[in-house]
Amino acid sequence: MTQLQIGIPKGSLQEPTVRLFAKAGYDIHIPARSYHLYINDEQMGGMLLRPQDMALYVERGVLDAGFAGKDWVIECGADVHTAAELEYSRASNRRARWVLAVPHDSPIQKASDLQGKTIYTEIVRTVQKWLAERRIEADVQFSHGATEAKVPHLGDAIVELTETGSSIRANNLRIVDELMTSAVVFVVNRASWTDAWKREKIEDLLTLLQGTLSAQGKVGLKLNVPSDRLEAILKVLPAMKEPTISPLTNSDWVAVETIVDQPAARELIPLLRRAGGQDFIEYPLNKVIP
């Protein structure tokens, strides 16, 4: 039987990715001490791998597709097809940033001040390219972790990944420049992308995953409205397109249903009630697929 082999990122992205799959209807089981995983879809299998290496496994056809940071795809230089960019991450749904940071009391104020300095980072090739584009000569060293601790003891500056900036601030560092932003990308082996069955399977999977992400932070809202108050309700009520309006058995009433941002619901419901709405139901959403 033909199977689509998917790579799930190990580490900080592992749990968010497994949760995303679960909300999309796919349960992933990862046995202890194993790199092979099981999905409750007999047409899919996969492996648990470091996101830094994911694109290389996809490029060489070990996997048909996998999740990785766009930054690591760039860093390893793998020749893969990027099928989608997905807005989720380890700490938030905002884009992560690779930033150049120095100690607060450092004399380095701009990129050109790095001339002749030492920089520690995990993305050595990317930083070297960034410096070369600016004609800056600096010594770029690979960091095996705890990068923030390497200045000022081992180097003059670091290039590190941050989402919220909290780790940078906690280590008494300041940001001098931003090299790039990154998000989770779903990369596909180029031969797999040209295979009709695999491409359809990938596109169907992405539809469900993206629909799950679109549903985050949104809720469904139902209410009953007297017909003579409908116009007033519609002036207040937002909708993705237009709210659904259905007649009730009692012809003097209609049912109204829409999708709203969850934080907005707490403001909307009292307004709608004052405008004449009754019998409110707020419910969670698993997927929103246009």
pLDDT, tens digit (0-9, with 9 covering 90-100), for 77-132: 999 999 999 988 655 556 789 999 999 999 999 999 999 999 999 999 999 999 99
Last residue in a domain, options 215, 238, 259: 215
- Asked whether residue 242 carries a pLDDT value surpassing 60, the answer given is yes
CATH of the domain at 250: 3.30.70.120
Kindly state whether residues 110 and 50 are assigned to the same domain: no
- Judged by phi (left if over 0) then psi (alpha if -120 to 50, else beta), residue 135 lies in left
**Is residue 51 in a domain?**
yes
Query: How far is the C-alpha of 100 from the C-alpha of 134, rounded, in Å?
Result: 14
Kindly state whether residues 178 and 188 are assigned to the same domain: no
- The pLDDT value given to residue 251: 81
Kindly state whether residues 38 and 149 are assigned to the same domain: no
Q: Closest Cα to residue 29, out of 13, 12, 47?
A: 47
| Residue that the structure tokens 């390219």 belong to | 129
**Is residue 226 in a domain?**
yes
Query: How far is the C-alpha of 92 from the C-alpha of 124, rounded, in Å?
Result: 25
Strands 184-188, 118-121: parallel, antiparallel or unpaired by DSSP? unpaired
**Is residue 290 in a domain?**
no
Query: How far is the C-alpha of 191 from the C-alpha of 187, rounded, in Å?
Result: 12
DSSP string, 185-216: EEEE-HHHHHSHHHHHHHHHHHHHHHHHHHHT
Range with lowest mean pLDDT among 20-34, 70-84, 231-245 = 231-245
| Residue that the structure tokens 């694109």 belong to | 55
Mean pLDDT of 134-163: 94
For 172-203, write each residue's pLDDT tens digit: 999 999 999 988 999 999 999 999 999 999 99
Chain centroid offset of residue 236 CA: 32
Sheet with strand 184-188: strands edge to edge: 28-29, 36-39, 44-49, 4-9, 65-69, 184-188, 81-86
Q: Closest Cα to residue 37, out of 61, 60, 58, 66?
A: 66
CB distance 215 to 88 below 8 Å: no
Total number of domains constituting the chain: 3
Kindly state whether residues 38 and 156 are assigned to the same domain: no
- The pLDDT value given to residue 226: 95
- Asked whether residue 2 carries a pLDDT value surpassing 90, the answer given is no
Kindly state whether residues 193 and 86 are assigned to the same domain: yes
Question: SS3 string of 91-128?
Answer: CCCCCEEEEEEEECCCCCCCHHHHCCCEEEECCHHHHH
Q: Closest Cα to residue 215, out of 273, 262, 271?
A: 262
Domain residues for 138?
96-182
Last residue in a domain, options 215, 232, 263: 215
**Is residue 33 in a domain?**
yes
- The pLDDT value given to residue 237: 87
CB distance 259 to 285 below 8 Å: yes
Mean pLDDT of 217-227: 95
Q: Closest Cα to residue 107, out of 170, 157, 35?
A: 157
